Amino acid sequence: MIEDDFYATVKFKSGEEIFAKVAATEEEDRTMLLVSNPITVQEIKSRSGSIGYKLEPWLKTTTDDMFVIKLEDVLTMSESSDIEMIMMYQDYIRQAHKGDADNQSNISRSMGYLGNVNDTKELLEKIFNKSQEEL
């Protein structure tokens, strides 16, 4: 029997921490967790002090989106009602399912100066030489 799914943070005995949609199920007198699209969340602080989050897939070398976890491997689990975290998770999953081709942006001149290695090397050498003359 599978219980209703919910959003949760799961901390494993190994120290890993994931955020996912979770459902509990009983199989052969053992409780298992079904986790859907698990992600890792890393807090990122900018130099200005603002805080953001980096979301990544839990397992990077698979295209599976559903995993079975033994409850014995779980240290603790906390159901999440944090709307901001749930919205970030849902947006990340939506973007991930669009496909990698859609997520890649093309390089354009509006992103900044585009040059070749030789021109850039020559420019940097001129700047370096000028700075050495001023010393």
In the prediction, which pLDDT does 123 show?
80
Q: How far, in Å, CA of 10 to CA of 5, rounded? A: 14
- Does 119 fall in a domain? no
**∠ CA 75-20-68 to the nearest 5 degrees?**
65
pLDDT given for residue 22 in this prediction: 95
Whether residue 99 is contained in a domain is answered as: yes
At residue 31's C-alpha, the angle toward residues 25 and 36, to 5°, is 50
In a domain, 67, yes or no: yes
Instruction: Please give the chain's pLDDT, 135 residues, in tens.
Output: 566 899 999 999 999 999 999 999 888 888 899 999 999 999 888 888 888 889 999 998 988 899 999 999 999 999 999 999 999 999 998 888 776 545 456 666 666 666 677 777 888 888 888 888 877
C-alpha distance from residue 120 to each of 116, 117, 127, 132 (Å): 6, 5, 11, 18
What CATH number did the domain enclosing 96 receive? 2.30.30.100
Instruction: Report the domain count for the chain.
Output: 1
Q: What is the DSSP letter of 115?
A: -
Confirm whether 14 is domain-assigned.
Answer: yes
Backbone angles phi, psi at 39, to 5 degrees: -130, 160
The domain containing residue 29 runs over which residues?
Answer: 6-104
* Helices and strands in the chain, H and E counts: 3, 6
